[in-house]
Amino acid sequence: MQAIVSKTLLFSCVDGPGNRMVLFLQGCNFSCPTCHNPHTKRRCNDCGLCIPVCAPKALSLVEGKIAFDASLCTNCDDCLRICPISANPMVSLMDVGQVLALTRQNLPFLTGITLSGGEATAQLKFSVALFTAIKEARDLAHLTCFVDTNGHLGPVGWDKLLPVTDGVMLDIKAFDEGQHIYLTGRGNDKSLASAELLAASGKLYELRLLMIPGKTDTRRELEALVALVKRLGAHTRVKLNAFHNHGVRGPASAWETMTKDRLEQIATTLRAAGLSQVITPVVWL
């Protein structure tokens, strides 16, 4: 079984506890106008539009399929900018054995491994197979396995993934159903149910909220957040991310950026309402 991987990192300190190897899996079931990695949304349809813009000729069509030669790539990302469907022609296919080999090469540096995206749970079979293999390997079993997800996965899916998962970072895009559909193209019932299910299983490492001025920082949204966290446990880690329009394509690039003052104000409000672990960004854009 293979995963479609957009990018692999050997060092990440922002994808869970400690240093984590991160696999960004290609493809997402949401369509967020605020996405900062829009090139991870869709899967390549081999249209070939990116081939002429690839100056070092790292891309070509072989028997109707895109072929990518990483050794020629200069990381200019011109292919991502030309892609009409928010896909990535530079993805690689990796099977579980290849990921385990990469993990072993870097083992002393790693606290664990995190699957992100795109949407990691959209490649559920691979995710389950990889984490199972890590837990079963004597030399790797100490690594923690984390998932960064939008929570659009039902209880049957979680039943398969959670037994081999140590922690989940769950994004809640909005509490108001209409706002959620506007921000993702889908309803939020699955994501909210995932929050409850993950908290009940003890695997909810962190809730992540993207604060967008006038959209997700309204009084009603924050009240709904407080109510959810109180149901899950007031000690739940709540990570506030600040929306920034840099790197965003389409209409959201004109949306207002979240300021540090406003975000600190939100954090103060949440703490005053009884949330004990509200985390704000270290670096400001």
Partner 1 sequence: MPDQLEMLRRITDDPSLSSAQKARALSLAAENMLPYPALDAETAKALDARVICDMFEGHAPYKPRYVLPDYAVVLTKGSDWLELPVPQDLDEALNTLMIAYHHVPSVTGMPVYIGKLDDLLLPFCTGVSDDDIYRKIKLFWRYIDRVLPDAFLHANIGPTDNRVARTILRVDAELKQIAPNLTLLYDPATSGDALLSQATGNIVECSKPHVANHPLHAATFDARGYGIVSCYNALPIAGGASTLTRINLKEVALRARDTRHFFTEVLPHYADLAFRLMRARIDYLFNHSGFFDSFLVTEGWIERDRFTAMYGIFAMAEAVDVLQAKAGQTGRYGHDAAANALGHRISRALSDLVQAQPMENVWRGRAMLHAQAGLSTDTGLTPGVRIPYGTEPDPVAHVQALAPHHAYYPSGISEILTLDETIKANPLAVFQLCKGALASGFREFTANVASNDLVRVTGYMIRLSDVAKHNAQKGSRTNTTGLGAEAAAKTAILQHQPRVMGQEFVAGHRQ
Number of residues in the chain = 285
Piece of 5-13, 66-74, 186-194, 265-273 that binds partner 1 (CB under 8 A): 5-13
Q: Which of 1, 2, 13, 61 binds partner 1 (CB under 8 A)?
A: 13
Closest distance between partner 1 and the C-beta of residue 107, in Å? Answer: 8
What is the smallest separation between the CB atom of 71 and partner 1, expressed in angstroms?
Answer: 11
Q: Which of 259, 265, 268, 276 binds partner 1 (CB under 8 A)?
A: 259
State the nearest-atom distance from the C-beta of 83 to partner 1, in Å. Answer: 17
Q: Residue 156 or residue 282: which is nearer to partner 1 going by CB? A: 282
If binding is defined by CB under 8 A, does position 48 make contact with partner 1?
A: no
Q: Is 251 in the site for partner 1 (CB under 8 A)?
A: no
45 vs 268 by CB, closer to partner 1: 268
**Full DSSP string of 77-123:** -HHHHH-TTS--TT-EEEEHHHHHHHHHHTGGG-SEEEEEES-GGGG
Centroid of chain to Cα 266: 23
Q: What is the DSSP letter of 245?
A: -
Minimum gap (Å) between residue 16 Cβ and partner 1: 9
Q: Considering only the stretches 119-127, 174-182, 253-261, 270-278, report the one whose residues sit in contact with partner 1 under the rule CB under 8 A.
A: 253-261
Q: Does 56 bind partner 1 (CB under 8 A)?
A: no
Phi, psi (degrees; rounded to nearest 5) at 77: 65, 15
Distance CA 193, CA 15 (A): 23
Q: Is 55 in the site for partner 1 (CB under 8 A)?
A: no
Determine the Cα–Cα distance for residues 216 and 174; give it in Å rounded to an integer.
6
Answer yes or no: are the C-beta atoms of 118 and 91 closer than 8 Å: no
Give the N- to C-terminal CA distance of the chain in Å, as an integer: 39
Smallest separation (angstroms) from partner 1 to the CB of 38 = 10
